[in-house]
């Protein structure tokens, strides 16, 4: 739930309903599935085959002539189904989840804080009103109420009452403010023979009960359709991502073509007929040309040439900035495209690592297998993050960066399956002890 603390300032004091908070947490839980699913498969496969090996059930299975690969076949089929489901989840559910979650966070951020009128201070949290109360009680009644009306952008109208009560009506759309035994004061704007600079008289009226309705729509959670976020890379499926990537590539190619065309048209000059030469010359100062220009116009010609040169230099720089921005955007969309597949492959890859490892270590439960699973997943996750960061910066090919973690761990899975098939004691204590003994004997013979 560390994610909650990131937005705790936006959640506290907004008066959000429990259903809204539960919906937001539900979207967050769905968003964490790509991280939790591969880890859970790795952990469960280690614990399952570790327990089978620990209780000698794998030995009994092999004694019947059933190989390890054949005993894993049903689980391979099951994990393949999970991988296919993970692909469809990543392609269809995750974009919707990201859109709804980002939209809700934005709506909550824009929502005004819940009204909480303190005692003994002037509170201006209500739109168009300032209120001060001496004492408030648990039944929403108040004592000693002073209310200023700012709807006319001045303080010419205010109310003083002995007591009051606040309640919401029409499902919270309006707040009903009931005031009892008080006086209403209003500046007489129509008073005659009173200079503008002089104080004007106040009109005073008494009341036994006075009711004010305040619109509370601004304090309610306004749910938007999320259209402002629909172009984000995390909120598109494969088809939409491919369309955007292709569009970005075409924009860059069109920009390059326009750059060449406009530079040739506006900033490049062919051979000058005045020089009587066949060589193509760029626009530059030349002594022979300057002698043909009147002395009074030479400075103006030089200034225009400098201006043209600066403009010719600035246009490619602007085009480079435009292209760099489009390329960076393309990298982000390509990363999301590869993520649709890496989740499915990770589910299968980590199963083929966890199952043979559990058969080798012959330990089930929540001990050593859990430690190994977490360490191995951290290696996978760190490699994936490094590849994604380098891909976003363009320091590494996006495809290689996104598949780097799978390429690194794939040989580990092949090695473990090979060792498990041969009943290797790779991770047993005697095996480690024998290796260290052999190494010590080798070093001793080398020294002698």
Final residue of a domain: which of 219, 252, 283? Answer: 219
pLDDT value of position 285: 46
Q: Are the CB atoms for 405 and 390 separated by under 8 Å?
A: no
Q: What is the pLDDT of residue 274?
A: 44
pLDDT in tens, 367-396: 777 787 788 888 888 999 999 899 888 888
| Residue 263, C-beta contacts closer than 8 angstroms, at least 6 positions apart | 312, 315, 316
User: Tell me, what's the pLDDT at 84?
Assistant: 92
Segment 244-289, tens digit of pLDDT = 889 888 888 887 777 777 766 665 554 444 444 444 444 444 555 6
Higher pLDDT, 220 or 149: 149
Note whether 41 and 67 are same-domain residues.
yes
More confident position, 294 or 391: 391
Q: What percent of the chain has pLDDT over 90?
A: 4
Mean pLDDT of 59-65: 79
Residue 116 lies in a domain: no
277 within some domain = yes
pLDDT, residue 282, reads: 47
Determine the pLDDT at residue 422. Answer: 78
Looking at the structure, tell me whether residues 342 and 316 fall in a common domain.
Answer: no
122 located within any domain? no
Q: Looking at the structure, tell me whether residues 349 and 312 fall in a common domain.
A: no
> How far apart (Å, rounded) are the C-alpha atoms in residues 8 and 359?
45
Q: Which of 204-218, 235-249, 297-311, 397-411 shows the lowest per-residue confidence on average (mean pLDDT)?
A: 297-311
Q: Minimum mean pLDDT among 9-18, 24-33, 47-56, 144-153: which range? A: 9-18
Q: What's the structural domain count of the chain? A: 3
Residue 227 lies in a domain: no
Clarify whether residues 360 and 320 are in a common domain: no
Averaged pLDDT, 340-351: 90
> Once rounded to an integer, what is the mean pLDDT over residues 169-173?
69
Expressed as residue numbers, the domain containing 394 is 2-111+336-447
User: Which range has highest mean pLDDT (98-112, 133-147, 181-195, 197-211)?
Assistant: 133-147
pLDDT at site 280:
41
Q: Is residue 371 part of a domain?
A: yes
The residue ranges of DSSP E strands in 139-201, in sequence order, are 141-149, 157-169, 174-187
Distance CA 326, CA 245 (A): 10
32 pLDDT tier (thresholds 50, 70, 90): confident
At residue 386, the pLDDT reads 92
Shortest CA distance to 37 belongs to which of 337, 362, 345? 345
> Mean pLDDT lowest for which of 32-46, 150-164, 215-229?
215-229
Q: What is the mean pLDDT of the chain?
A: 77
Phi, psi angles (nearest 5°) of residue 442: -65, -45
Q: Hey, what are 246's tokens?
A: 């292709």
Instruction: Report the pLDDT value the prediction gives residue 176, as an integer from 0 to 100.
Output: 81
Q: What does the pLDDT average to over 163-167? A: 84
- Cβ(211)–Cβ(161) below 8 Å: no
Please give the residue that has the higher pLDDT: either 307 or 165: 165
Supply 435's token pair. 């290796």
165 and 96 share one domain? no
Boundary residue ending a domain (279, 297, 327): 327
Same domain for 346 and 264, yes or no, is no
User: For residue 20, what are the contacts with CB-CB under 8 A and spacing of at least 6?
Assistant: 104, 108, 221
Question: Quick one: pLDDT at residue 275?
Answer: 45
Work out the angle between the directed axes of helices 73-88 and 33-54 (0-180°, nearest 10): 170
Residue 138 predicted with pLDDT over 80:
no
The answer to whether position 85 is within a domain reads: yes
Span 213-231, average pLDDT: 63
Out of 327, 346, 374, pick the residue that ends a domain: 327
Number of alpha carbons in the 13 Å side-chain half-sphere of residue 435: 8
Same domain, 297 and 353: no
Is the model more confident about 180 or about 362?
Answer: 180
- Quote the pLDDT of residue 293: 67
Check whether residue 346 and residue 442 sit in a common domain. yes
Give the residue with greater pLDDT, 243 vs 284: 243
Range with the poorest average pLDDT among 1-10, 90-99, 364-373 = 1-10
- For residues 109 and 8, is the Cβ–Cβ distance under 8 A? no
Decide if 398 contacts 391 (C-beta within 8 A). yes
* Confidence at residue 81, expressed as pLDDT on a 0 to 100 scale: 93
- Between the alpha carbon of residue 239 and those of residues 96, 97, 148, 233, 242, the distances in Å are 14, 17, 57, 12, 5
Q: What is the pLDDT of residue 113?
A: 55
Same domain, 213 and 169: yes
Does residue 123 belong to any structural domain of this protein? no
Q: Give pTM, 2 decimals.
A: 0.65
180 or 299, which is more confident: 180
Q: Is pLDDT larger for residue 157 or for residue 247?
A: 247
Residues 145 and 187 in one domain: yes
Residues 319 and 345 in one domain: no
Q: Report pLDDT for 193.
A: 58
Residue 149 falls inside a structural domain: yes
Question: What gap in Å lies between CA 129 and CA 152, rounded to an integer?
Answer: 11
What is 216-266 written as a DSSP string? -GGGS------GGGTTSGGG--HHHHHHHHHHHHHHHHHHHHHHHHHHHHH
Least confident of 98-112, 138-152, 273-287, 361-375: 273-287
| 415 vs 411: CA distance, rounded Å | 6
Of residues 321 and 200, more confidently modeled: 321
What per-residue confidence (pLDDT) applies to 110?
63
Residues 271 and 340 in one domain: no
């Amino acid at each position: 739930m560390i994610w909650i603390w990131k937005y705790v300032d936006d959640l506290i004091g907004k008066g959000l309903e429990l259903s809204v908070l539960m919906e937001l947490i539900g979207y967050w839980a769905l968003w964490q599935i790509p991280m939790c699913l591969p880890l859970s498969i790795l952990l469960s496969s280690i614990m399952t085959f570790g327990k089978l090996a620990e209780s000698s059930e794998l030995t009994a299975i092999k004694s019947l002539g059933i190989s390890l690969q054949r005993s894993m076949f049903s689980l391979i089929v099951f994990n393949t189904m999970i991988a296919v489901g993970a692909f469809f989840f990543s392609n269809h559910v995750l974009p919707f989840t990201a859109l709804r979650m980002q939209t809700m966070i934005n709506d909550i951020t824009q929502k005004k804080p819940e009204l909480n009128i303190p005692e003994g201070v002037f509170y201006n949290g209500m739109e168009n009103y300032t209120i001060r109360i001496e004492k408030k009680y648990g039944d929403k009644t108040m004592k000693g109420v002073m209310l200023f009306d700012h709807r006319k952008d001045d303080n010419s109208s205010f109310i003083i009452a002995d007591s009051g009560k606040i309640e919401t009506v029409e499902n919270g759309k309006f707040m009903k403010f009931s005031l009892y035994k008080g006086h209403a004061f209003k500046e007489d704007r129509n008073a005659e023979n009173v200079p503008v600079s002089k104080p004007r008289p106040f009109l005073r009226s008494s009341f036994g009960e006075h009711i004010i309705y305040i619109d509370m729509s601004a304090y309610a959670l306004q749910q938007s359709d999320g259209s402002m976020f629909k172009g984000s890379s995390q909120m598109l499926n494969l088809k939409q991502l491919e369309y955007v990537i292709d569009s970005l590539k075409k924009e860059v190619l069109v920009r390059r073509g326009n750059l060449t065309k406009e530079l040739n048209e506006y900033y490049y000059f062919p051979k000058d007929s005045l020089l009587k030469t066949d060589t193509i010359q760029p626009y530059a100062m030349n002594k022979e040309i300057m002698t043909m220009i009147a002395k009074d116009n030479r400075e103006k010609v030089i200034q225009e040439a400098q201006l043209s040169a600066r403009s010719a230099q600035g246009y490619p720089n602007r085009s480079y900035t435009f292209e760099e921005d489009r390329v960076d955007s393309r990298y982000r969309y390509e990363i999301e495209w590869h993520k649709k597949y890496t989740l499915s492959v990770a589910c299968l890859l980590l199963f083929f690592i966890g199952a043979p490892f559990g058969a080798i270590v012959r330990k089930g439960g929540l001990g050593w297998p859990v430690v190994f699973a977490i360490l191995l997943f951290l290696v996978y996750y760190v490699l994936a993050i490094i590849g994604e960061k380098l891909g976003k910066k363009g320091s590494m090919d996006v495809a290689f960066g996104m598949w780097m973690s799978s390429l690194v761990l794939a040989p580990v899975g092949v090695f473990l399956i090979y060792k498990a098939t041969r009943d290797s004691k790779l991770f047993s204590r005697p095996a480690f002890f024998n290796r260290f003994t052999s190494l010590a004997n080798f070093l001793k013979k080398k020294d002698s």
